[in-house]
Each structure stands twice: as structure tokens, then as C-alpha cells.
A and B are shown apart, each in its own frame.
Chain A
């Protein structure tokens, strides 16, 4: 079986990114490549610079050194190629679910001048946008709530709409910033399964020779969640031999791939969870920073192996 993803089209490339707040160095020489179709989890102790890295990729706070390249362009401001779903403030209060999802199409494909001066044309286009929006809501299982406002939706529903809202623009990379942190266990699991479904769609797309649609970097503090939803886990931490220079990527390994409806087999990830906890979260365990980091060729090979086992 040759449906591995690591050798695909590059979605994002992070080259030598470091970040300082005044004298304090937070991130040191981060290098990372994510290919189209990967679902990557980013974990790390609180205060290790996860948010800083995320904001750098999003473009709101460009890094002090190095660059982040998406779709051949250096990211220096938020743009339509990098989508984001926050834990809170996901949706615009004043738009219905349907309009929230269609909002990106409106902002990205038309201008205010077009919408006012070419009003009849805009109305036609709007109809198409709403149809597309419905299709995406359907995909996240929320077509019935299309006309509700965010205040009328539950936390889990809101996050589904927020994911649809970001996906509709088909960003090269979708950032999920602790997206399920405020949800109850059952809702959280159903959303995790949605992500597993996305990964399966990626594999199908890849097998059919298409570019996979969903490339996701999910920040989470739940190790189980990281291993469960992602096909690759990255750990960011200061607990390594160059600690005084700031946090680095100390862990980068593929992880088992689950089917959406497969029972969560804890046996499958208990060993990796322990390894991850020790490598990323244990302040007493000082090691060479690259001990648990796979080289790019290895990421590819390991993913191929995982895919082969399945």
C-alpha cells in the first residue's frame, strides 16, 4: 500500500523560526514541514511557546527570526491560506450559522464595491454561496441549524460551524487552537471522530491522485487526544540540553491512525503516551533535543509503515 502522505505537496514550511520577547528567548530554531493531508498535533507544557508559534504561523505575530512559508509565500499577516478555529470567539454573533460559513466566500471572492454597485449580480452569487455553505454544514452534521444564531447553538455545534467556516475557503493549513477544550467529554469525542473522518477522506483523495483537502495543525493539552486524532505528534518544550536558548521541537513521531468508528483502543497508544510525556513534559529528563525527533525522510518512512500495517 502506497498511500502515505509525508511525500505529498508541502502545505507549510517553517524555517529556522526563533522568537524573543525582549531579552527572553521563547522559541529557538524551529524547523518543521507539514505536507498536504497531514493531521498534526502540537503538544507542550503550558507556557512553552505553543501559542507564540501558532500566532507566528497565523501571521498575527511574525517571528523575530526565520520564516514561515505557505503556498510559496512568506507569512507576515493573517491571510486566507491559513485558517483558524479558536477555543472561544469562533463565530460572528451577528450572523446565522449559514451566513457565518458563507462569510469567508463573501469576503474572499467579492469586494464591498462589487456588492453595492453590482447588487443584482451579488444576489445571484450570494445564492450560490449559501448553497455551498449548506453543503459544508451538512458535512459537519449541522444542516438543520443553518438559520440559528451562534447564541442559540451549543458549544459543540458552534465549534462544528467554526470548522466549516474555516474549511469552506479550503485553506492550505487549518490551525485548531485547543478547539475542544471547553466541551464535555461526549461532544469532544464526536468532534474528534469528525477529524478522524477528515483524515480518511485525505487518504482516499491521495489514493485517487488528488491533493488531500484537510491539512490540520491542532494544538491540545490532552495527550490522548493528540495521539488519537493526529497521524503525527509534535512536542514543543524547554526540557532539553539547550534549554537556555528557548523551546524547541523535542518530539516528532507518527502515531497510530484510527478509523472514526473504531473503538478507542488505549493499548495502542499507551506506550507512545508515556514516551511523549517523558520527552516533552518531564523537567527532570534532560536529553539531546533531537533524540525523539524524526528526520524528514523518517517521517515519510514511518507513515508509510503505519499505512502498510493498516
Chain B
């Protein structure tokens, strides 16, 4: 029956079962591959993963010239790019989206341009960012920022139009609000959960653009290392990197859900 409720213990049991099945399939593939070729590294075993993990986390360089581990370098590079790109993109899209939803003049001016640019794949726009900034932090930041900006500005603008009734705005005026207060105390607060939801949805695409760009151009970063290690057939390192990408994605997701619960308890789930 569609949507028939099931007991909580079953929910958890099924969740764990899914994970166990995936691990079991991997183990079976790994054992089979090893039987065919004992030196295989397409589906490495647990031991190989352990070695890989030590390799990427150990500090490099001598005592006189210590360097951080590969993982440390890559995580810092990738997430710094992601943070700068996303935060500037989100900030810009919140301001522009709210302005477009509030003022018909700005709406008429920007709507056609934004709709057009939202249709160009951000990775294609790399051509421009490369010429403008070269292979530099600015290039990644611009790509992520503009990559999320156009779609996010559109959805925030839509949220302002749909979620904030004109009656709400008039009501705020009758309660003595100034124009600025209407924007800051009514519109912004009403669309905040939508902003957080959109941010959550945009982390995925932003990572797609970033890993692709790092794959092509970077000298450090998760995308760069995955490419290098794949060339060397070091799949035990590649899988660890993929697992790190997956878990950090989950973590950011969780963080944003917590933020929404804390900041907008009225919004529900």
C-alpha cells in the first residue's frame, strides 16, 4: 500500500541493511578480482585502504622542512575555494533576488539577463574566467559564485514573489514599518528558510563545477589529486577521496538543516 507507515525499528534496520549490502557487493567484487589478479587495485581490500589512508595523512618533508599532508593541502584548497565562491554567490543572489522581488523596476531590468545567463553551463563560462583571472583562486571563486548566483537569484526572487503576500507588506506599513524595515524585518525573514534550502541544493552543483575545474587546471585540491591518483591506478586513494567528498557533503547538509531549525523554527520540516 502506498505510504503505509512502518515501525521505527524497521526504518533503521532497512537503512543499515542497505549499507551492509553495498559493502558486501564491494567485498565480493574485491575478492573475485584478487583471485583473477593478486596485484589488482581496481577494488582494493581493507589493508590497501589502510595504507592509502596513512599515505595521504602523514606529514611530508624532513624535520627541517615539514610540510602538511596531502589530504590537509587538498581539503584546505578545495574547501577554501568552495567557501569563498559559495558565500559571495549566495550573498549576491540574496541581495539581487530580494531587490528583484521587491522593486518592479529592478525586476524588469534584470530578469531577462539573469534568465539568459542561468541557461549557460558554468563550466562553459570557465573560458571567460580563465581569460579574466588565469589559473588562480579568483577563477574558481568566480566560477562557483556566478555558477550558483543566476539560478539562486531566480529562486529567491520567486520566493519573495510567492511567499510574501502584498497584504503582508501593507500590513507591515500599517504597523509603522519603513521601507527598509519591510525588506529587512518582513521579506528577508520570510524567505530566509528558502535561502538556506537553496544553499543546501546549490552545494552539489558547486562541487561539480569545482571538481571539474580542479581536474582540468589545478595543482592542488581534491579534484586534482583524484585525477593524479587515477592516472597511477591508485584506486585505494581515489576511493578514500570519494568517501571524504560524500561525508563532507552529508555534513554540510546536516549543518544547514540544523541552521534552518535553529533560525526558522516556524518553517517546519
Contacts and interface: CB of A to CB of B under 8 A. Distances in A.
Contacts, number: 73
A58 interface: yes
A89 B165 contact: yes
Interface stretch (B3-11, B42-50, B55-63, B173-181): B173-181
A3 B150 CA distance: 64
Interface in B153-204: 165, 167-168, 170-178, 180-181, 184-186, 189-190, 192
A169 B180 CA distance: 20
B190 A94 contact: yes
A149 B265 contact: yes
Contacts of B266: 93-95, 149-151
B184 A78 contact: no
Contact of A84 (B174, B190, B264): B174
B268 interface: yes
A112 B181 CA distance: 7
A79 B176 CA distance: 6
B267 to A, nearest CB: 8
A86 interface: yes
B20 to A, nearest CB: 39
A90 B168 CA distance: 7
A111 B185 CA distance: 11
B156 to A, nearest CB: 16
B167 A78 contact: no
Interface stretch (A23-31, A33-41, A102-110, A244-252): A102-110
A86 B171 CA distance: 9
A94 B172 CA distance: 13
A53 interface: no
A22 B171 CA distance: 27
Contacts of B168: 89, 92
B170 A78 contact: yes
Nearest to A171: B174
Contacts of B267: 93-94
A106 B174 CA distance: 12
A90 to B, nearest CB: 8
Nearest to A168: B175
Nearest to A150: B266
B190 A108 contact: no
B261 to A, nearest CB: 13
A151 B181 contact: no
Interface string A73-116: 00001111011101011101111000000011011110110000
B176 A107 contact: yes
Interface residues of A, number: 32
Interface string B8-20: 0000000000000
Given A80-B175, A171-B174, A112 B180 contact: yes
A129 B162 CA distance: 31
A77 B177 CA distance: 12
Contacts of B268: 151
Given A108-B176, A111-B178, A151-B266, A89 B167 contact: yes
A92 B175 CA distance: 12
A86 B165 CA distance: 12
Contacts of B165: 89
Contacts of B265: 149
Interface string B225-269: 000000000000000000000000000000000000000111110
A166 B174 CA distance: 8
Nearest to A84: B174
B175 A108 contact: yes
Nearest to B173: A78
Nearest to B171: A84
A108 B177 CA distance: 6
Nearest to B193: A94
A109 B189 CA distance: 20
Contact of B170 (A84, A88, A165, A166): A84
A82 B170 CA distance: 11
Interface of A: 58, 60, 77-80, 82-84, 86, 88-90, 92-95, 103-104, 106-109, 111-112, 149-151, 165-166, 169, 171
Interface of B: 165, 167-168, 170-178, 180-181, 184-186, 189-190, 192, 264-268
Q: Give the 4 A-B CB pairs with smallest separation, nearest first.
A: A108-B176, A78-B173, A104-B175, A80-B176
25 contacts: A60-B170, A80-B174, A84-B170, A84-B171, A84-B174, A86-B171, A89-B168, A90-B171, A92-B168, A93-B266, A94-B190, A94-B192, A94-B264, A94-B266, A95-B266, A107-B175, A108-B175, A108-B176, A111-B181, A112-B185, A149-B266, A151-B266, A166-B175, A169-B175, A169-B176
Given A78-B173, A89-B168, A169-B176, 15 more contacts: A79-B174, A80-B174, A84-B174, A89-B167, A92-B168, A92-B186, A93-B267, A94-B266, A107-B175, A108-B175, A108-B176, A111-B178, A149-B266, A150-B266, A169-B175
